[in-house]
Chains A and B, each alone.
Chain A
Amino acid sequence: GDSVTQMEGPVTLSEEAFLTINCTYTATGYPSLFWYVQYPGEGLQLLLKATKADDKGSNKGFEATYRKETTSFHLEKGSVQVSDSAVYFCALSDRYNTDKLIFGTGTRLQVFP
């Protein structure tokens, strides 16, 4: 079945460092891809999404490009802030079987001043 694999955390960075969180997927159809973020004590909220190959999603300085050839959707940010400390979830939805999102296990990011 469809699945999402994320790099294990925690990822620990100093403020202004470059961030990459890896995400790869397995899907039989044509998935849409998402990054959700969960700040401490809160529910998940959509960070960015891409619905077809080569699309780039971006928001709040974060970017991710839908790479069909490598089945990847890596999250990047050029300069992280302490306020970016959170858990990041990669997820997919099969366009032809859209009854649910399939989430990765989440990657905790800790940014120190």
Chain B
Amino acid sequence: NAGVTQTPKFRVLKTGQSMTLLCAQDMNHEYMYWYRQDPGMGLRLIHYSVGEGTTAKGEVPDGYNVSRLKKQNFLLGLESAAPSQTSVYFCASSYELGGAGEQFFGPGTRLTVL
């Protein structure tokens, strides 16, 4: 099992550009999450999904969109990137909603917006 994978690993964007981050899991988990990690702020939840075709807003959803067209994939989109979105992005999945069970994390995507 590959677990949770993320692509790309690194990306540099210019302000106003768009991009999509892909998360894939092979554990048949229903629940998937996107977090951002910033220095001194821990991890903050951007969006999450409780199953194929569903999405919900987390703590910091503004400027991001998500889609869950297939159970194993969870996409995070930035339509018009801003320097404030420079961060490390982590995807996670779990077999129980939220923290009732263990969340499994991908290796992260380091995004820089110039």
Contact = CB atoms under 8 A, between A and B. Distances in A.
Contacts, number: 63
Given A100-B58, A101-B98, A45 B40 contact: no
B108 A43 contact: yes
Interface in B68-113: 90, 92, 96-100, 102-108
Nearest to A46: B102
Contacts of A42: 107-108
Interface of A: 4, 32, 34, 41-46, 49, 89, 91-93, 95, 97-106
Contact of B43 (A32, A44, A95, A98): A44
B13 interface: no
Contact of A43 (B4, B41, B48, B96): B4
Contacts of B90: 43-44
Nearest to B33: A100
B100 A32 contact: yes
B42 A106 contact: yes
Contact of B99 (A45, A100, A105, A106): A100
A106 B43 CA distance: 9
A93 B102 CA distance: 11
Interface residues of B, number: 26
A84 B97 CA distance: 29
Nearest to B99: A93
A4 B108 CA distance: 23
B22 interface: no
A73 B31 CA distance: 26
A98 B105 contact: no
B103 A46 contact: yes
B18 to A, nearest CB: 24
Contacts of B44: 103
B99 to A, nearest CB: 2
A104 to B, nearest CB: 6
